[in-house]
Structure formats: C-alpha cells, structure tokens
C-alpha cells in the first residue's frame, strides 16, 4: 500500500493537492469509474514508478474521488485503520464505517 508520504498510511501534507487520505481496497468497478473520470489507475505508468492497480490492491484515494464514487454507488471498501482522520472533513464517519473492511 502506498500513500502520499509512502509511510504505509494515508497521510497528507503540503503539496498533496489531491488530499489522498482514504485507504481503500480498490475494486474493478471503482477502477472503471476512476478511468471514466480521467484517472486511469489500472494502466501501468513506468515513468512514475507506478505498476498499475488491480482489484484488491490497497491505495490512498483522494477523498473527493471516494466521495464522488460513493454518490455513484461504486465506492470501494475502506481500511479505517489506515485512513487519515482528516477524511472526516469531507465524508462522515458513518459513510466510511458503512464501507469498512477488516484487515
């Protein structure tokens, strides 16, 4: 699993304009949704050292993209233990808990 700070949790900080604070286990439906919104996370981008994501991979999502996916009915499961508390500025704890998975 990766994150903005590459420390195993979805921390954010200066320079993280996407606010990558929701730790998710991506699904095929979410990957297709993200690609339809212009962010293809499944295709490798070796020039960025990015191997591409597959269903089940853990990834730190932009909180607004997770919220958008929630509204579209394709929000991926959330790993609460690795999701940063600042996500609560955008989505409710109840929404996150409703999509939480045990690790």
pLDDT in tens, the chain (103 residues): 455 656 667 877 777 777 889 999 999 999 999 999 999 999 999 998 889 999 999 999 999 999 999 999 999 999 999 999 999 999 999 999 999 998 7
How do the domains of the chain map onto residue ranges?
Answer: 20-98
Q: What architecture is domain 20-98?
A: 2-Layer Sandwich (3.30)
Q: For the packed helices 28-36 and 63-71, what is the interaxial angle rounded to 10 degrees?
A: 100
How far is it, in rounded angstroms, from Cα 6 to Cα 38? 23
Helix (H, G, I), strand (E, B) or coil at 25: strand
How far is it, in rounded angstroms, from Cα 14 to Cα 35? 26
DSSP state of 53: -
Report pLDDT for 102.
Answer: 84
Beta bridge partners of 78: 24, 100
- 39, 59 in Cβ contact below 8 A? no
């Amino acid at each position: 699993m990766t994150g903005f700070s590459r420390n195993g949790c979805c921390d954010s900080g200066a320079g993280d304009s996407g606010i990558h604070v929701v730790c998710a286990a991506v699904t095929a439906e979410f990957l297709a949704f993200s690609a339809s919104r212009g962010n293809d996370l499944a295709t490798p981008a070796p020039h960025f050292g990015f191997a591409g994501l597959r269903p089940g991979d853990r990834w730190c999502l932009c909180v607004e993209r997770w919220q958008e996916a929630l509204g579209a009915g394709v929000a991926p499961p959330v790993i609460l233990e690795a999701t940063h508390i600042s996500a609560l500025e955008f989505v409710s704890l109840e929404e996150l808990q409703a999509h939480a998975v045990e690790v």
